Structure 1
Amino acid sequence: MSEWYEIEDIEAIDSPSLVLYEDNLMYNLHNMLAMVGGYTTMLMPHLKTNKMPKVIHRMIALGIKNFKASTIAEAEIAAREGAYGVLVAHQLVGPKLNRFLALCHNFPNTSFSTLVDNIGSAKVLNDLAIDAQRVVDVYIDINSGMNRSGISLGPGLETLLETISNCKGLQLSGLHVYDGHLRDSDFQNRKHQIEEEFEPINNLFERLKPTQPDIKLICGGTPSFTSHKHQKNRITSPGTCVLWDWGYGEQLKEQDFKPAALLVCRVISKPTKDIITIDLGHKAVGSENSIDKRVKFLNLEHYELISQSEEHGVLSVSTWDTIAVGDVYYGVPYHICPTVNLYDKVSLIQNKKKIDTWEITARQRKVTI
């Protein structure tokens, strides 16, 4: 009996390439929705993982209409698919400021928002918004301990809140908190760390609520999804779980998602005993991690990926004599997000056959705006 991932018409699919299994994709989307009890308003999935209009279309069909994006391109494809709201979760600088305002102008049926974490950026955005005769929705980006972006709790944050309240071109929409540094593989430990760190932020949010009842609290990513989902006043932003990967599959055992996107590669050489070379180099899989955390092959045992160059992957294998040049391997990426970003298209698989090709449109830094 063949394995779930084996593709009957595999010879129609070049390598290296990315393939997307529709059944697993839909399983993940339904599971993500079930984890928040079906309350779509508690979800703002991050688009940085999938970057595909067709995936967004399927989320919208399930009633999920608000999204988080890292780039203007991701925000644009969401708007084109009919998203109700999109948060561009990067503080805008340079040309992105006017690109964001162009988004607001070109897609009036989508509510766009963005982040600020300092007075200077708030004032620049305010001035441009006033010039464009707009009021821009902004979330204050809170630094909860990751130290990647955001402003820490304290007097500086209070001053920023006051500044925004005096900006005619800005409207405070709420607080944004990303706690991606909390990734303990033990869920109870991770949950304790998340909630302990979050307590003062929640106190701030509850203090602001009486005078600003419409503000929202956007929280976390996939690792903290299983903690934040229990709090009805929080909007969650999982992204990786839509496609899933080997890394989170090992780290987040409490989450029940399936690998929806796999890598297809082939053996291209057997240069010496116990060594094979595949056409999966570091241009074909996310490679920011160490060599042992790149890809996990589902139909190969007792191997070690010992090196990668741009278009080659070299493996040490124990079954060298049974392997032939041209053999196909299916691999789960350790980190799916940068892996997707390396491909223009995915082959859509249903019932073990390729049925369509989907564009990874927002792999581009710019679509039209």
Structure 2
Amino acid sequence: MQNNWWKINRDTQIDTPFLAVYEDRMQSNIDSLIAAVQGDLSKLRPHIKTHKIGEVLELFKKNNIDKIKCATIAEAELAAMYQVSDILLAYQPVGLKKQRWITLIEKYRDATFSTIVDNLKSAKELNTIAKKNNLQLTVYLDLNTGMNRTGVALSEDWIYLARSIMKLKHLHFVGFHIYDGHVKGAIENRTVEVAESFQNIIANINQLQEETNQKFLVVAGGSNTFPFYATQENVECSPGTFIFWDLNYSTNLPEQDFKTAAVLVGTIISQPTPTTFCIDIGYKSVASENTLDKRLVIINDENLIPISHSEEHLVLENHGNYNYKVGNTIYALPYHVCPTCNLYETVQVVNNQKDIYTNWKVLARNKKISI
């Protein structure tokens, strides 16, 4: 990789392990995001689940991106605290989350909040609590296009469900939400798969618009399908990982012009054999839901191969000739940056001079901020 961009000036480093993020590369990623929608900022509603950081929201706003999507009430509160104007909770509020959602809306009255529903029972429950609090809640209908996680299946009469929700007086129905993270493979295959289902969805939405004389919004996609939705009219796109990017997407989404901007920094703490050594990036410091070969890659030396992993330790086998010593610094790219970031209370921010000059708190990693 060019110019050893990841190297941090030693006199500004902190004790390892830590997660470093790079200002110039984050800005480059925001620029690429905007370029992908040809400068039409109305199409952008980035997901904040990757970073969960208020200062990143300030970067968005500096670049005139003022709508976000989130997965938790803590993330929604973070966005409201940083005065993001339009906040979509893409997680159906049920149980105690309903009251937390109401409390959030009442506390931050300057923000516009919306959420999703995928069944009439949950919609009626939200309608009831909204009536009790003299509110009207803005909702989208969540569509299941094949991920089978949330949403009403396309095989069901989801247009009828939409009509039923529109009759609830304390809900303001504004459109449809799609997340199709199951769509993978080469860009050509992803495009064909998502285009087929989206064409049918839009045809039904257009018919409903004609019947109701109402224009509906569509919030769609994540990183995998962003290239498709970026070219569609009247669609808000919700990629999230773009801000940091990671090894997974660098490998599997090569058509997208984003740069890895988050790096794990560790230290060699032991050398148990002549060809192996141990660093302090255990699986408490990097997302480890995947097999060992898909957790991280050492970027300062491709000859260092992970061979065992435990809570505080990662053992590497040296297939090269460089003679590493205890105390040497090791840099690594996480395979999955979203849950990796969630493991850190703060991230260390690296400027163009390769100095760590501040840290940002990953505030919304908490299950609760104040609500």
Same-fold call, TM cutoff 0.5: yes
- 1:248-287 matches, within 5 Å, as 248-287=249-288
Cα drift, residue 42 of structure 1: 0.1
Deviation at 1:301, TM superposition (A): 2.4
Q: In structure 1, what is the Cα distance between the partners aligned to 2:11 and 2:259? A: 21
- The CA deviation string for residues 277-326 of structure 1, in whole angstroms up to 9 with x for no partner, is 11011110011111100111111222221111100001111247601011
Shift of 1:170: 0.6
Are the aligned partners of 2:85 and 2:112 in contact in 1 as well (CA < 8 Å)? yes
**Is 1:191 paired with 2:184?**
no
In structure 2, what is the equivalent of residue 171 of structure 1?
172
1:218 matched residue in structure 2: 219
Contact 2:12 2:355 in 1 (8 A): no
Residues 205 and 217 in structure 1, CA contact (< 8 A), matched pair in contact too = no
The question of 1:242 aligning with 2:243 is answered: yes
**Could you list the per-position Cα deviations for residues 102-140 of structure 1 after superposition, in whole angstroms to 9, with x for gaps in the alignment?**
111111111111110011101111100100100000000
SS in 1 for 2:359: strand
Aligned match of 2:36: 35
Kindly provide the amino acid, as one letter, of the partner of residue 266 in structure 1. Answer: T
Deviations 1:319-339 (A, max 9, x none): 476010111111111011000
Report percent identity of matched pairs.
Answer: 39
**Preserved CA contact (<8 Å) 1:274 1:320:** no
Instruction: Give the AA of the match of 1:306.
Output: I
Determine the structure 2 residue equivalent to 1:13: 14
- Seen in structure 2, the aligned counterparts of structure 1 residues 130 and 331 have a Cα distance that, compared at 3 Å, is same
Aligned counterpart, 1:116: 117
Structure 1 residue aligned with 2:209: 209
Q: Does the C-alpha gap of structure 1 residues 11 and 79 become closer, same or farther in structure 2, counting only changes over 3 Å?
A: closer
Which runs of structure 2 are paired with 1:341-360 in the superposition (5 Å)? Answer: 341-350=342-351, 351-360=353-362
Stretches of structure 1 that go unaligned for 5 or more consecutive residues are none
After superposition, where does 1:292-307 map in structure 2 within 5 Å?
292-307=293-308
Distance 1:86 1:237 in 2: 12
Query: How far is 1:208 from its partner?
Result: 2.2
Give the Cα–Cα distance (whole angstroms) in 1 for the partners of residues 367 and 347 of structure 2.
18
Q: Which amino acid aligns with 2:300?
A: N
The residue identity in structure 1 corresponding to 2:273 is T
What is the aligned partner in structure 2 of residue 97 from structure 1? Answer: 98
Which stretch shows the higher mean deviation, 249-258 or 202-211?
A: 202-211
**Partners in 2 of 1:117 and 1:101 — Cα distance?**
19
CA contact (8 A) 1:276 1:320 kept: no
1:202-238 deviation per Cα after TM superposition (whole angstroms, max 9, x unaligned): 1122122232534200100011001110112211001
Distance 1:265 1:310 in 2: 14
The CA RMSD over aligned residues, in Å, is 1.4
1:25 aligns with 2:15: no
Please, which moves more after superposition, 191-200 or 217-226? Answer: 191-200
Pairs aligned (count): 368
Q: Secondary structure at the match of 1:15?
A: coil
The DSSP-based 3-state class of the residue aligned with 1:265 is strand
| TM-score normalised by the chain length of structure 2 | 0.96
Q: 1:200 matched to which residue of 2? A: 200
Structure 2, unaligned stretches of length 5 or more? none
Structure 1 stretches of 4+ moved >4 Å: none
Larger CA deviation: 72-81 vs 298-307: 298-307
Look up the SS of the partner of 2:242 in the other structure: helix
> TM (normalized to structure 1)?
0.97
The aligned amino acid for 2:136 is V
